[in-house]
Amino acid sequence: MRLKTAFFLASALVAIPSFVAAQEKGGVINVATIGEPPTLDPMASTADLVGIVSQHMFETLYTFDKAWKPTPLLAESLPEISADGKTYTIRLRSGITFHDGSDMASDDVVASLERWVKVASRGKQAAAFLDKITATDPLTVTITLKQPYAPLVSLLAFNNSAAIVLPSEKQAEPMKDFVGTGPYMLKERKADQYIQLTRFDGYTPRSGEADGYGGARHQYLDEIRFVPVPDANTRVEAAISGQYDYIDSLPVESFDRLKGSTASEPLVLKPFGYPVFVFNTAEGVAKDVAIRKAIRQALSMEDMLAAAFGSTDFYALDGDIYPKSFVWNTDAGVEGHYNLADPEGSAEAAKAAGYDGKPIRILTSRQYEFHYKMAQVAAEYLKLAGFTVDLQVVDWATLTQRRADKGLWDIYITHSPFLPEPALIGSLSPSSPGWWDTPLRKQTVEAFSAEADETKRLALWADVQKAMYAEIPYIKIGDFNALAAKSTKVEGVVPAPWPYFWNASIKK
């Protein structure tokens, strides 16, 4: 699918200039993150924090270039796809070495993909379409499908719930040996203190220029240390003082202060993505779609966005899943179902649905401060509508653990970048927390996923969005821009939804 030139990172995930090719190796950078990742196994989690760290250690067959098109990483080239769309032949790069010194071959890829379809929510999403995965020869893997599945390459490229390649003998669940092919390898992890990655000298980068997440990945740095800094205000002060070399996920109201810093400079991704309220459709109060509709009717998306981001320079009121600058944009299903801010009507709808006063359990975290601010506003509107609200504020790692338990929550608050392929949206998978699994979901999502024709897929995506508004697996709140900061001493880091530090260097 060719995305419009206005795609949000077409200007941000630029190819790193060729001057870094002459950079000397050396140095350590410290990266301040919003917290401690719940795991370092990217198959086992959809948390962005996991992907940010693990993408330096593990690699996938494909990744995304600066225009968000799939591009080869561990694969030699894009797959050869049979005329009927059911057979994918994947040639692997030769000379790829794992961190333990063993060579990557097709049996490692087969074992890893088999683990992916069992462990990863996006692997489970693809599993229904898979017939078999075979090692045709030492450097060739063949994937045979039961029916065409257009999103497959994008799923194999995504670093979230990722199809990473591990040695065939190191496929334990949960992961015990953190051995990948990436440019950096795990040296030490001290919980709530740091994750230390060191250069893997056996790494073989692709040739050519860096190109988004694709192209050449150079290891100029000796070490990358990821340091959890859960408090947003602490991250802001650390950015202004230059305490860290990169600071992720900053409150947008700190932008002007960052502009005045001599130690750091702001990085803005515009538009970055959208906050969402994900419903538990499997158990609890929100299992009833009529209750979900009543909750949506009560909420003011405009007030939540204003509380979370302050200035309209950093947010836009928009119910379409993709903004108008994206090829996937459609307003199907949105009219009459977005930004209603009608607590009185919500109260009547909840009563008609048989709401009995049971608490609406909302999971949120202050590590993403804008999540918490939206939760506060939502709670007040829901109370006006007569709902009892149990606002549970936890650290992000705890939230990602709790959301996996159907008995513990009714709504959790998260956000997503605008993804290059809609099938990557987690809530479309019935195995993703929220567990949306209805005949309408199956009909619309599978029709969209099976269609290869680009024009037809656009119309089928409109059907999926319409189904999402009809059954409400989640509520999109609006569009927002994200803010991070980097040291003025660091080169080769570009704005990205999952920031990466291969190709980064320290000015000499």
- Work out whether strand 223-228 and strand 360-364 pair parallel, antiparallel, or are unpaired: unpaired
**Structure tokens of 189?**
């992890």
| pLDDT tens-digit readout, 353-404 | 999 999 999 999 999 999 999 999 999 999 999 999 999 999 999 999 999 9
- CB-based contacts of 456, cutoff 8 Å, min separation 6: none
Instruction: Indicate the DSSP class of residue 30.
Output: E
Q: Which residue is associated with the tokens 């992890």?
A: 189
**Phi, psi of 491, deg, nearest 5:** -115, 160
Neighbours of 352 (CB within 10 A): 10
pTM of the model: 0.86
- Band the pLDDT of 452: cuts 50, 70, 90: confident
Write a three-state SS string for 276-317: EEEECCCCCHHHCHHHHHHHHHHCCHHHHHHHHHCCCCCEEC
Q: Are 142 and 88 in contact (CB under 8 A)?
A: yes
Write a three-state SS string for 304-315: HHHHHHCCCCCE
**What's the maximum distance between 2 C-alpha atoms anywhere in the chain?**
69
What is the distance between the alpha carbons of residues 22 and 171, in angstroms, rounded to a whole number? Answer: 38
| pLDDT tens-digit readout, 69-106 | 999 999 999 999 999 999 999 999 999 999 999 999 99
Q: What is the pLDDT of residue 23?
A: 65
**Structure tokens of 418?**
């605008």
C-alpha distance from residue 26 to each of 23, 38, 221 (Å): 9, 30, 5
The pLDDT of residue 181 is above 80: yes
Q: What is the pLDDT of residue 454?
A: 86
> Of the candidates 499, 416, 501, 494, which has an alpha carbon nearest to the alpha carbon of residue 13?
494
Q: Are 149 and 128 in contact (CB under 8 A)?
A: no
For helices 454-471 and 439-450, angle between their N-to-C axes, nearest 10 degrees: 160
